[in-house]
Amino acid sequence: MSGPEAPPAPRGRVGYLGPAGTFSEEALLASAEDGAVEPIPLASIYETVMALRRGELDWAIVPIENSLEGSINATLDLLADEASDVRIVGEAILRVRHALIAAEPTTPGEITTVLSHPQVPGQCTRFLRSELAQARILPAASTAEAVRTVVAQGGRATAALGTELAAEIYGATVVRRGVEDSEDNQTRFVWLATAERAAAEPPLRSRGTGQWRCSIVFWGAGAAHPGWLVRCLGEFAARDINLTRIESRPRRTRIGSYMFFAELAARDDDPAVGEALAGLAGLCEQVRVLGSYRTAPALPGAAS
Share of the chain above pLDDT 70, in %: 95
Contact between 25 and 41 under an 8 Å Cβ cutoff? The reply is yes
Residue 230: is its pLDDT beyond 80? yes
Residue 251 has a pLDDT of 85
Amino acid at 268: D
The 3 state secondary structure assigned to the chain is: CCCCCCCCCCCEEEEEECCCCCHHHHHHHHHECCCCEEEEEECCHHHHHHHHHCCCCCEEEEEEEECCCEECHHHHHHHHCCCCCEEEEEEEEEECCCEEEECCCCCHHHCCEEEECCCCHHHCHHHHHHHCCCCEEEECCCHHHHHHHHHHHCCCCEEEEECHHHHHHHCCEEEEECCCCCCCCEEEEEEEEEHHHCCCCCCECCCCCCCEEEEEEEECHHHHCCCHHHHHHHHHHCCCCCEEEEEEEECCCCCCCEEEEEEECCCCCCHHHHHHHHHHHCCCCEEEEEEEEECCCCCCCCCC
Please report the pLDDT score of residue 233 as a whole number. Answer: 96
**Max Cα distance, the chain (Å):** 77
Q: Is 80 exposed, middle or buried (0-12, 13-18, 19+ CB in 10 A)?
A: buried
- Nearest CA to 179 out of 232, 141, 219, 123 is that of 123
Question: How confident is the model over 249-269, as pLDDT tens digits?
Answer: 998 777 778 899 999 999 999
Q: Is 119 left (phi over 0), alpha (psi -120 to 50) or beta?
A: alpha
**pLDDT, position 3:** 54
Question: What's the whole-number mean pLDDT along residues 205-214?
Answer: 86
User: By percentage, how much of the chain surpasses pLDDT 90?
Assistant: 83
What predicted TM-score, i.e. pTM, was given to this entire model? 0.90
pLDDT recorded at residue 210: 83
- CA-based nearest residue to 33, from 14, 48, 56, 5: 14
At 9 the pLDDT is 60
Q: How far from the centroid of its chain's Cα atoms is residue 211's Cα?
A: 19
Which stretch, 62-66, 193-197, 224-228, has highest mean pLDDT? Answer: 62-66
Which pLDDT does position 129 carry in this prediction?
Answer: 97
Average pLDDT over residues 93-112: 96
Write down the pLDDT at residue 304: 44
Summary mean pLDDT of the chain: 92
Compute the average pLDDT of residues 263-284: 96
Inform me whether the pLDDT recorded for 108 exceeds 80. Answer: yes
For 80-100, what is the mean pLDDT?
A: 95
Note the pLDDT of residue 98: 96
For the stretch 8-54, pLDDT in tens is 567 899 999 999 999 999 999 999 999 999 999 999 999 999 999 99
Which residue intervals of the chain bear CATH 3.30.70.260?
A: 212-294
Give the pLDDT confidence of 215-229 residue by residue, as tens digits.
999 998 776 778 999
Calpha distance 98→74 (Å, rounded) = 21
The pLDDT confidence band at residue 4, using thresholds 50, 70 and 90, is low
Distance separating alpha carbons of residues 153 and 140, to the nearest angstrom:
14
Distance CA 99, CA 146 (A): 12
Q: Please, what sign has the CA dihedral across residues 83, 88, 89, 94?
A: positive
Residue type, 218: F
User: Do 138 and 115 contact (CB within 8 A), yes or no?
Assistant: yes
The pLDDT of residue 201 is 85
User: For the structural domain made of 12-95+185-197, what CATH number should be given?
Assistant: 3.40.190.10
CATH class of 212-294: alpha beta
Task: Render pLDDT for 112-164 as a digit per residue (tens, 0 to 9).
Answer: 999 999 999 999 999 999 999 999 999 999 999 999 999 999 999 999 999 99
Q: What are phi and psi of 59, to 5 degrees?
A: -145, 170
CATH 3.40.190.10, applies to 99-177: yes
Q: In whole angstroms, what is the distance from residue 55 CA to residue 53 CA?
A: 5
Residues of the chain within CATH 3.40.190.10 domain(s) are 12-95+185-197, 99-177
